[in-house]
Structure 1
Amino acid sequence: MLQKNTLLFAALSAALWGSATQAADAAVVASLKPLGFIASAIADGVTDTQVLLPDGASEHDYSLRPSDVKRLQGADLVVWVGPEMEAFMEKSVRKYS
């Protein structure tokens, strides 16, 4: 778990602080609200973080809407747990990464 947290922090840091001009326009999309809280805390004051799943939705049976796919396409960084928990994300993340 510690290794995943370290990797998440490194990925967020690289995406957000790679250069001053890119950091201001960085788009961070998290799949779940708890991941959105973590990403938002790391990116505090640098960029906004969007969460894909609406309140009350289950990650086990969610289907991406066209607006979700559009947000993933425009994201500089996508934070998600993985295909074991969020199967709905796997195809889109592979396609747009």
Structure 2
Amino acid sequence: MLHKNTLLCAGLSAVFLFTQTSAANAAVVASMKPLGFIASAIADGVTDTQVLLPDGASEHDYSLRPSDAKRLQNADLVVWIGPEMEAFMDKSTQSIAPNKKGDDRPA
């Protein structure tokens, strides 16, 4: 009986460990720092959040670099406000699946 319980606990621990590992690999990308702070607070301890807009850059006239576009395409979740505020994101986010975008536009 003890051996059976040990195997059960080991199996459940392995399942839990692998489940946590796959969730921690999620890529969350926020368009600017304030959204990055919010996303980081929500995902605290689960995954890291990346911010596209560099310090000192304006969200109204920023141009995405190729590395930024690649991060957007590889992201599991993209958090941004919308094209009225962040025109630099509009074209790049059109090719991202609607379930991966966190914006205020209807899908």
Q: Give the TM-score band, short-chain normalised.
A: 0.7 to 0.9
RMSD over aligned CA atoms reads: 1.2
Aligned twin of 2:63: 63
Q: Which residues in structure 2 correspond to 1:2-81 (within 5 Å)?
A: 20=20, 22-81=22-81
What is the CA distance between 1:43 and its match in structure 2? 0.1
Flag the structure with more relative contact order, 1 or 2, with Cα contacts below 8 A and sequence separation at least 6: 1
Question: Given the two structures, how large is their TM-score scaled by the length of structure 2?
Answer: 0.70
Q: Which amino acid aligns with 1:88?
A: F
Matched AA of 2:64: L
Separation in 2, partners of 1:23, 1:46: 7
Q: Structure 2: 5+ residue runs without aligned partners?
A: 1-18, 98-107
Runs of 4+ in structure 1 off by over 4 angstroms are: none
CA–CA distance in 1 between the matches of 2:75 and 2:22? 12
Q: 1 CA distance for matches of 2:23 and 2:86? A: 27
**Structure 1: which amino acid aligns with 2:65?**
R
The CA deviation at 1:96 is 2.4
Amino acid at match of 1:37: F
Per the TM alignment, residue 26 of structure 1 is displaced from its structure 2 partner at its CA by: 0.3
Q: Distance in 2 between matches of 1:52 and 1:75?
A: 12
Percent identical among aligned pairs is: 82
Aligned to 1:11: none
What's the CA shift for 1:22? Answer: 3.6
* 2:52 maps to 1:84: no
Structure 1 residue ranges without an equivalent (≥5): 1-18
* 1:57 CA displacement: 0.1
Equivalences, count: 79
Separation in 1, partners of 2:22, 2:96: 19
Please report how far the alpha carbon of residue 20 of structure 1 lies from its aligned counterpart in structure 2 after TM superposition.
4.1
Cross-structure match for 1:8:
none
Q: Which has the larger radius of gyration?
A: 2
Secondary structure of the corresponding residue to residue 83 of structure 1: coil
